[in-house]
Amino acid sequence: MEAHLIKINLPFLLLFIFAQSIYTQEISTSVSNNLKAGSGFEFFGERLARMKKNYFENFSDVRIFIPKLTVGFRLEYSNPPEYGYNFIGLRKRFIEFETSGLSIRAGDFYTLFSKGLSINLSENRNLAFDNGMDGLKLSYENDFLKAQLIGGDLNYFEPLSIYLGNPRFEKYKVRAASLEIIPLRNISIGGNFTWSEGLLPSVISTMDTIEVHIPELFLKTKLGNFDFFASYAIKRTNLGGKDTSKGSGFYSSISYSREGFGITFEYKDYRFDIVEPLRRSETFRPTRALPFQNPPIVHKEHIFTLTQGMPHIVDFNDEVGFQIDAFYSLSNSITLNTNIALSSRHYDYELNQSTLQFERKKVGSDLFPSLNKLRSPFWEIYLDIEYFLPDEIDSYIRLGFNRRSETIYDRMNFHTPIQPIRSTTILFEFQKVWSDYISTKFISESQWILEFPQTERFFNQFFSIAFNFFSQYSLGLRYELTTNKFELENRKNWLVIEGGYRLGTNHTLIINYGKERGGTVCSNGICRQVLPFDGFRLTLTTNI
Amino acid sequence: MKKLYNLFFFLLLTNLFAQPKFIPDFKLETISGEKVSLYELLSSGPVYINFWAMWCVPCRAELKAIQQIYDEFKYKGVNIITINIDSPRSTSKVKSFVAGQRYTFPVLLDPNQEIFKKLNGYNLPYSLLIDRNGKVVKVRNSYLPGDEKEIVKDIQSILK
């Protein structure tokens, strides 16, 4: 279905369907609303660069369920937004028909092919990330096969470009198919194929036109307590009619689980666009892994504030590594979680003084990650123990330890190419329900950091305490301090007071006021820079 | 634009006075690979659905409560299911997390959040209580200590 026809007709179609069905028992509706507002100041780098920051956003998602048919749309009012660009109007709309394993959807959609090496469309509003498509999606599924066909347009806004002063929009036409066959109950094999044509802003000409082909094969098996998955994708990119780049990605996982114990080993070998150091700094090069590709990150995604603060940003174009993650339950009240991750680039590069070209240099096997500094290694160890107090569901203590090391080897920096970041973090969390009416949650995080170009360690401390009354009201504060002499806004401590109110089970209001530190925030490998903020924020979430 | 907002407020008002009459069917795979259909579960009794993810701190506390609620109601005709919405970056760890925590309730996977979004979820944890006629009788978009008692009361009330 053509997108512009949907744009014109969908509101009228919605009204028609609604009017037809309002007096019957055949319709139900669901509304989810999220309102965010804030007022204060943001800081760009130095204390002097203080900018007024006001935002007001409202997202209203509506679903209308009619037997075998779902109609949905989102009205958005972002003027100005917290992060992203101004938008007022109908942001999303779709109509979906489903029967006996068959699903046909026209309009906006998200989807996922196996583990996302070729297609992984999703949205994260907090990061202003949205790689959803507008077009047609056909899916069919029975006991022996799963098939999916998609076609449409992807208008992608690059969140990383927000602070560059020139918002970057990339346009893609995407046609893709996925087929998974299940010959035996515990084995499935499949393949995906993606074709795309992209129009990307260029630094050399006005726009770059690329054509991309991504074939992918995958295998899934379950044998006893073991689960195995492997997927391999090849990406070919034509830029300006020439076959300019060929890359690939491989991901595999094996896990073992039994009562009280589970362990997972994951391996990644992403080489979608390995380039020499000079080109690596060209973040938006057209041959890179594209916005609709989002493979697994293969390292731990943290839930504590300070461990989230300096995330490892995965390079899907050039990274090889693994992760081991295990859960062990000593008893019904004590659980251990441990995680070890290691990754690095595939190669080192050396500048040939006569040709002034970088030449690839092999350092160990390129199939395994290396701790050699020339390959920019990242490693991490995490351990936590969680203890639930006897006979209490919501009262627990958690103690954690995290040690992390990342070394950037920058061949373009001839004086100090080795740029290390090291951190050690001790985590403590305690929640206690005192009575039916009052509970408390306390968090302490202590972190020691060595961060290039500094040569001395500095210390970060985070405290948070929150009281919850009658399962309806909450009141808390967050306090953070640092001894970092080079903190961006030249401040040493931050305090935020937060209050929450829940009306029934459907409406949640949160208000906070104070000074927020900011930093890099990542979710699923997608990252955003949050600027330091002084002021108040309000969030109201409603589900009806 | 004004028309669109009028449409929205019309729908909102309708919702304030009318609970949803039914929930659409969906079919998802459990972490063990079995397929579970909502309507098949509803044919044997009410269903409590809880959406969660491993990165969601309140979800992890609620899962402890859900295990107790599951133990209490599993032979009383109530189907309690949880749906994990971790992205494919974490789904391989979900099974070992569940095994490590000794959870025995059914865990379904929605790695692209298709069902979560279709049922209009926004925040985690997100829970729905559905009576045997497929009518949504309760929606929760958060979890605070003490909520487990309210969940038990809600389930008991639809069993009467």
What are A299-322's pLDDT values in tens digits?
998 888 898 888 898 999 999 999
What is the rounded CA–CA span in Å between residue A398 and residue A430?
6
Nearest partner of A7 among A73, A68, A78, judged by Cα: A73
Phi, psi torsion values for A452, nearest 5 degrees = -60, 140
Tokens of A377: 């290694």
CB B47 within 8 Å of CB B25: no
CA distance A133 to A398: 41
In angstroms, the first-to-last Cα distance of chain B is 46
Structure token pair of residue B99 = 């095994």
Interchain CB distance below 8 Å, B144 and A439: yes
* Pairs from B151-156 (Cβ < 8 Å, separation ≥ 24): B151/B48, B151/B65, B151/B69, B151/B127, B152/B69, B152/B72, B154/B129, B155/B46, B155/B48, B155/B69, B155/B73, B155/B78, B155/B129
Rounded Cα–Cα distance for residues A15 and A21 (Å): 10
- Give the CA dihedral A85, A521, A44, A83, nearest 10 degrees: 10
Nearest CA in chain A to B118: A63
pLDDT of A524? 66
Nearest CA in chain B to A142: B35
Across the strands, what pairs with A274? none
pLDDT of residue B135: 86
A185-224, pLDDT tens digit by residue? 889 999 999 999 999 888 666 788 899 999 999 999 999 8
CB-CB under 8 Å, B139 with A506: yes
Read off the pLDDT of each residue in A398-415 and give the average, rounded to a whole number.
Answer: 90
CA distance B64 to chain A (A): 6
Judged by phi (left if over 0) then psi (alpha if -120 to 50, else beta), residue A55 lies in beta
Residue A127 — very low, low, confident or very high, per pLDDT cuts 50/70/90? confident
pLDDT at B17: 44
Q: Which of B70, B85, B83, B159 is nearest to B128 (CA)?
A: B83
Torsion of CA A178, A183, A187, A190, to 10 degrees: -20
How close does chain B come to A62, measured CA to CA in Å?
7
A359 to A247, A278, A281, A288, A373: CA distances (angstroms): 18, 11, 16, 20, 17
Higher pLDDT, A123 or A173: A173
Distances in whole angstroms, Cα of residue A113 to Cα of each of A149, A218, A294, A305, A397: 10, 10, 10, 32, 39
Interface test with A, best of B34, B50, B84, B96 (most A CBs within 10 A): B96
pTM for the full predicted model: 0.87
Helix (H) or strand (E) segment spanning residue A280: helix A277-280
Task: Report CA Rg, chain B.
Answer: 16
Please report how the helices B57-73 and B147-159 are oriented relative to each other, as an axis angle in degrees rounded to 10. 40
Question: Is a pLDDT exceeding 50 seen at residue A1?
Answer: no
Residue with tokens 């969908």: A10
Residue A108 sits at the vertex; the CA angle it makes with A105 and A110, to the nearest 5 degrees, is: 85
Give the residue ranges of chain B where pLDDT is below 50.
Answer: 7, 10-11, 13-15, 17-19
Mean pLDDT of A269-287: 89
pLDDT of residue A2: 42
Decide if B147 and A525 are in contact by the 8 Å CB cutoff: no
Q: What is the pLDDT of residue A6?
A: 45
Surface of B (21-80) touching A: CB under 8 A: 21-25, 27, 32-33, 35, 54-55, 57, 61, 64-65, 68
For chain A, the residue count is 544
Answer whether A287's CB lies under 8 Å from A274's CB. no
pLDDT band for A8, please (50, 70, 90 cuts): very low
Decide: helix, strand or coil at residue A293.
coil
Tokens of A202: 């260029």
B153 to chain A, any CB pair closer than 8 A? The answer is no
Confidence of residue A138 (pLDDT cuts 50, 70, 90): very high
pLDDT(A245) > 90: no
Query: Closest by alpha carbon to B11, among A32, A203, A130?
Result: A32
What pLDDT, on the 0 to 100 scale, is given for residue A525?
65
The complex scores an ipTM of 0.81
CA dihedral in degrees (B34, B40, B43, B49; nearest 10)?
Answer: 70
Q: Which domains does chain B have, with CATH numbers?
A: 20-159 (3.40.30.10)
Q: Which residues of chain A make contact with B111, given a CB cutoff of 8 A?
A: 112
| Residue A71, strand partner residues | A64, A95
Distance from CA of A487 to the nearest CA of B (A): 28
- Average pLDDT over chain A reads 88
Contact A438, A467 (CB under 8 A): yes
Assess contact for A204 and A170: CB atoms under 8 A: no
* Average pLDDT over every residue of A355-373: 90
Contacts of A25 in chain B (CB under 8 A): 21
Question: pLDDT: is A136 or A19 the higher one?
Answer: A136
Token readout for A253 is 């996982």
Q: A393: which chain B residues are within 8 Å (Cβ-Cβ)?
A: 61, 64-65, 68, 145, 148
B117 to chain A: which residues are within 8 Å by CB? Answer: 110
**What digits encode the pLDDT tens for the residues A487-520?**
777 788 999 999 999 888 788 899 999 999 888 7
Distance of CA A338 to the CA centre of its chain: 22
pLDDT the model gives residue A19:
55
Entry field: residues in chain B: 160
Least trusted range by pLDDT, from A56-65, A424-433, B89-98: B89-98
